[in-house]
Structure 1
Amino acid sequence: MVYQVKKNWQYDEVVTEQDMNRIESGIEENQQNLTTHLAEKASLTKIGHTQLSNEIYSTDVTKAATSMAVKSLNDISAKKLYGYFPLKDANLVTDFSSYAFANDSINTPPGGDGWSTIATFPGLEAADRAIQIGNNWNDMSGSYWIRRKENTGFVAWEKLITNNSAPWLTAILQNGWSGTISYRKGAKNQLEIYLKVTSGVVSAGTIITTLPVGYRIIESYVTQIPVIFKENLGMPTGCLIIDGTGNIRVADNSFFSTGNNLLGVITLPMDGGG
């Protein structure tokens, strides 16, 4: 029933029961219409009330995306299209993701001038917690970096130590010895040495090479480097020695001949300051 409006009331006019019933019926009808309207949800086929949502993976057609949801989708699209995090700041990544960063990015792992890939693992219960693992593209050693996000922000990056984290370095041979002696820092502060050499001067104590500071065993210690020989003329006997000053030398009572081929591998504990 359409509400009948009366807008010509006079000062001394008497309000009858019919007038009050008409007014009350109008109020009741408006209340019913309001209740019905508030219950109507928008859909693809009808007009109605729409709830705002920040969700970006929802299939609910009764909710409308906010500008934050649109931005999130744009960031994800940019990552998939270009492969780089568009905001160029690793501190702004807290979602579960793997992003690439270009050379003008900031807060990426140190030593890589920005070029890096960072995987982020957010906390399941605390929104202000996350862990990031990163790799610098220009770091040929294959090193990885890790850091965590606390309620005050991300802490400093720390380098992960792995068995393959340090590159092999090549020693400079002396006294007529040729071939290769390679060394590096391995896991748990260990010195790894690989040698494939041909002997030169073979008198006892002859220094073959000297490893630099930072790649030496504990000071005042000495140990043998076991080697195997490629048979030349007869079977030579003896071994090589490495000491705390970094010298690799011919051991006493060794009976090498010039031109013997030696092969050896050893892992040793390094000096605590190395």
Structure 2
Amino acid sequence: MTYKGNQTTWDKLSPSLQQKIDTDLSGIRQTVTNNKTEVTEHLAKIATTENLGHIKPDGKTIKVDPATGIASAVASTSYYVEARQTAGTTTYDVNIPDVTAYKPGLTILLKLLENNKQGAASLNINGMGVKSFIFQTYAAAVQNAGELQGGRVYQLVYDGLYFTVIGVQWVSSYEGGTDLANNPYILPSYGAVGKVDAKVAALQTQVDSKSTKDVYTINIPLISGWQGLAQITREDNNMLTLYLDIYGGTRTGGTKIGTIPAGYRPVQTYSMYFGVVTTASGSVSPQGAVISIYGSGDIYITSSNIQHNIFIASSFK
């Protein structure tokens, strides 16, 4: 029942009708009160920035996370800046008013405005402290020269200690384990190529500095009291040259002077005659003295006419 009127018309109504209207109004008031209570209870369960959550079918709210945790991380923004390194350093100093602290997940899009300097790159935001750059795949410092290029935009993500440069891979100079001939799509590292180039250049330098033939000279150990210089030289055509300038040893025939090491021995026995030797009696022997070199490498005095020092420079195969 709906009543429209004022106090005067109300007074003209019968008591039974007034009671009926009062009863109906009381029911309406109770319904409104109940609805208000229910709305208030549900408002308490609705997720807000202070009370994140989701209402389950049974009416209970599941707490997700306070606003300072995951929610704030999800709402984080990448900041785009352009910079060149501060004079005398390898650090990029930038100002970003919205950044008040270094927090994990902080993302910076940095465009480099110049060719980079030598040294490990780093970032300093609002003067809050220098943070180094590291590779995405390896915890090593990112060098400016050769690894970061001017004019490019790099994504930097702070991990709590460093800024990781996304997409910049660490390349090892280790070369080995892969046969490139059987894997045509695998490229060697720049370090491997550099080492090969250096080796080729070194070999070329050796070739340019040598004559048309290689010469190898060794010393021959002396025995039987002989002293002085005893050497033999082998050239790349296997030609041998014996050089003796010795003195003071046993001079009788059949005396062994020394042994030539393997690799420098003649293919057959050679005998060398030298000088016109004065004998002990004062007569002259036109035959001179004889030094023999055997295929075994042994060097012998094979005559008894030697009275003084021995000097020989002789070549053979």
Q: Same fold (TM over 0.5)?
A: no
Q: TM-score, normalised by structure 2?
A: 0.33
